[in-house]
Structure 1
């Protein structure tokens, strides 16, 4: 049975959405990153980058959420657009746009908005990542004008990849930004209304994860701070 290493953050949640949409059994394995589970040797054998999510598909190890989505889609033949060169190109382009743009810039925007120490460089970094997050969302919003899904009229892994972060857009940016990107919000709302989305979000509630962002959690989540202190 496929083992799914996860927590409740955006990248694992989009993989959880795929697995719940698929409707086949899988074994969820909690990785509590605030406790440092991602640095345990047994997990590093699965993902040497010490990040969630990762999967062990009967000995086939895959890490990075977008790689997992593409692997599972191609393995199962599910949640892919019709097989034409144009659709394949669009799927890969938008999936990589989420992988290299939406995810990293959203993550950094969240870090500097909610968690980073307030030093003399904070305002510059905060403004930089807020600008880039909003720029990427504007690209998505323009792309989705007049389109039902990211690739034509088919619900695919590109939509799932987008949903993982875009459902957290208010936390990344603010409520005004969410309203500004109405086409993105429309797609996110549609996906969030799917039964599989509710199951994906609720998966974390089957486990107990550390909630406190205390010194232990900051040391595990933001290793550069502990390295600087040393």
Structure 2
């Protein structure tokens, strides 16, 4: 891996090739896989911004398309949490097959519907996924998987995103894992207000550092 450089990678997930962007800083301490929200992709500027903040604390990142191009053309697939979670588990398996990456503890970062997929996938991989962060997420959509999640989970919600705050609180009550709810003041659902996405990214970096980095 080229230190501090981004590489395009291809992974076979669900019988199709999925493109991703892998970034590995010098002496990485962990790897965070990103699950974007509906209608988004590995090119999400918000997730790329968060990824850069994670690089600064020594974490590698993998942003990839959860759906193939043909799958994404079917609107309903964007909300198929089971399918999205399956792609995450397959991506984790791909990571485990890469000698340079296999030794790194894994975490998931999910936005919007991607947060539900991250939690459902984490429930399926209790021995592999060490931490989960949700930003403006819909963890409630993970449904019956919530009580089975063992990875410490941080739920980040915008202070002005009142309906989603309530949904996150309800989801948290169903979880058995270590969880925290962090509310970013003035932020709406997409964290478009000045400085709010940076706050969310720093909260994510602190959480992953706490739970992924050995010692």
TM beyond 0.5: no
Report the structure, 1 or 2, having the larger strand content. 2
Q: Which has the higher contact order (CA 8 A, sep 6+)?
A: 1
> Rg bigger for which structure?
1
TM-score normalised by structure 1 residue count = 0.28
TM-score normalised by structure 2 residue count = 0.29
Report the structure, 1 or 2, having the larger helix content. 1
